A and B are shown apart, each in its own frame.
Chain A
Amino acid sequence: MLKLPIYLDNNATTPMDPRVLEAMTPYFLEHFGNAASRNHPFGWEAEEAVDYAREQVAKLIGADPKEIIFTSGATEGDNLAIKGVYEMYASKGNHIITATTEHKAVLDTCKHIEKSGGEVTYLKVKPDGLIDLVELEAAIKPTTILISIMYANNEIGTIQPIKEISTIARKHGVLLFTDATQAVGKIPVNVNKDGIDLMAFSAHKMYGPKGVGALYVRRKNPRVKVTAQMDGGGHERGMRSGTLNVPGIVGFGKACEVAMLDMEEDTKKISKLRDKLETELLKLEEAYVNGSREHRLPHVANISFKHVEGEGLLMGFNKNIALSSGSACTSASLEPSYVLKALGLGDDLAHSSLRFGLGRFTTEEQIDYTIKAISDTVTRLREMSPLWEMYKEGIDLSTIEWAAH
């Protein structure tokens, strides 16, 4: 029996894997110690558990355990990396390069840098969501200290050419930071092969608990340092003070271990379901995939259904299917998704988009249900859409003078 509601918003957060919860439980109860308590067994146990998790996390991304700084999540990692590099390398320069499709945690941190006297270049992306490497290189100046480009986008799943980006960064002696929240645990990410200097990621996007993440900070070739953004006990090699979230970290470690074990099989299964979903939905007229289909996370699809508004569409099934829309109507502002707009999508298409995030626990039965529910709703809403009627009559909507409001 199909159980409702169906969860297809795995880019927002993932359910915890039961194996992760099992690993965490003892660290809430009998092993509750503070990992910084050096003088008794409770502290020793906690420290040992954190060390083990640090190894599990490091292994997944091909790093040394000493290069892992535990944080509260990717937003903190983004802040620590960007502000931390900006302050640490102030004598070298004050210029940062990023892109317009980055997560708000990066964009707003960059805005903060600008307010405090730094300079930020925001690279535009091509219609497929990828940055232009020539533009990137051209943007580098003698004062550039950091390039911050996400590994994979949260709305459209587009995977940036991180290896090529790092080659350019190295050539000019600029550090590369990547927000890899959506990529780590889903696709192979290796900080050495990819040439990454700093990388933020989070447990709850990979079947781990919320409230824990990590910042990878390279220790060799080059040795990278960030200025701490919180003052306190000097935990995490002085870069991130605060009592470690031991159960969370243990769960994060387990989630990384499981991701390594299951990645290949998960990817095979999930991408097959994603492709089925996409193929079937594209059979509807005037349906378009947003972002690169070639350079894309295996579990993500972002599709616009022209002449139907995203929130109106969601309302047709959101009791039974959990999805996210790029429409503005879901937020207080009237602006649709800035990521979709950055691809050059017109507002009408941006307002008409749905984001599908499949996951480890998505089943074929759920996908079949989703295909039918969405196809039916799109068809029903088009029947009551004046834009669809005009389109069907052959009227060019761009020639109409809308009473803009």
Chain B
Amino acid sequence: MAYSEKVIDHYQNPKNVGTLDKSSKNVGTGLVGAPECGDVMRLQIEVDDETGMITDAKFKTFGCGSAIASSSLATEWLKGKSIDEALTVDNMDFVEELNLPPVKIHCSVLAEDAIKAAINDYRVKNGKEAIKFEESVVH
């Protein structure tokens, strides 16, 4: 299967690989996927309490090139966005930007789930209720 150039670029030069302090109150961590399914994504965001802006984002991903590219792209998109803006990121945005073929759509769903999980982790840590999302369908 041929990968799009953008997937290859993210795979070869992934942006924002790393780890934020998950015990910090400003950090939200989303860990989604399962080793059995062949992909696990961990996405972390650091949020400025006062402005509600995402000041930093890091990822680590176990998975195929498309999963790595989707999470790398997610960190790029999240930085500098507000939490509310981040919530509007949709899995189809990844599919379009990275030209993912149908068999790789689950990678984009995983990336969207990781963003939501990270935001909810941050919310819960800061005494807010977790947002209930509809179950993703493409699994």
Contact = CB atoms under 8 A, between A and B. Distances in A.
Interface of A: 307-312, 315-316, 327-330, 332, 334, 336, 346-348, 351, 383-389, 397, 402-405
Interface stretch (B60-68, B86-94, B121-129): B60-68
Contacts of A384: 14, 17, 59-61, 68
Nearest to A315: B65
B62 A334 contact: no
A351 B11 contact: no
B96 interface: no
B36 interface: yes
B35 A348 contact: yes
Given A347-B36, A386-B62, A387-B40, A312 B67 contact: yes
Interface stretch (B26-34, B45-53, B76-84): B26-34
For the complex of A and B, the 6 pairs showing the least CB-CB separation, nearest first, are A402-B34, A347-B36, A348-B35, A405-B139, A386-B42, A311-B64
25 contacts: A308-B62, A309-B62, A309-B63, A311-B38, A311-B64, A312-B11, A312-B65, A312-B67, A316-B11, A329-B38, A329-B64, A330-B1, A334-B106, A346-B36, A347-B36, A348-B36, A351-B35, A386-B41, A386-B61, A386-B62, A387-B62, A388-B62, A402-B33, A402-B36, A404-B34
B38 A405 contact: no
Contacts of A336: 38
A402 B139 contact: no
Interface string B6-30: 0010010010010100000000000
B40 A402 contact: yes
A332 B106 CA distance: 11
Contact of B38 (A316, A334, A397, A404): A334
B4 interface: no
A209 B134 CA distance: 54
A243 B27 CA distance: 71
A348 B3 CA distance: 23
Contacts of A351: 35-36, 38
Given A309-B63, A402-B40, A387 B35 contact: yes
- SS class, residues of chain B in contact with chain A: mixed
A364 to B, nearest CB: 28
Given A312-B63, A389-B19, A405-B113, 16 more contacts: A307-B62, A309-B39, A312-B68, A315-B3, A327-B64, A328-B38, A351-B35, A384-B60, A386-B42, A386-B60, A402-B33, A403-B33, A403-B113, A404-B36, A405-B32, A405-B33
B64 A397 contact: no
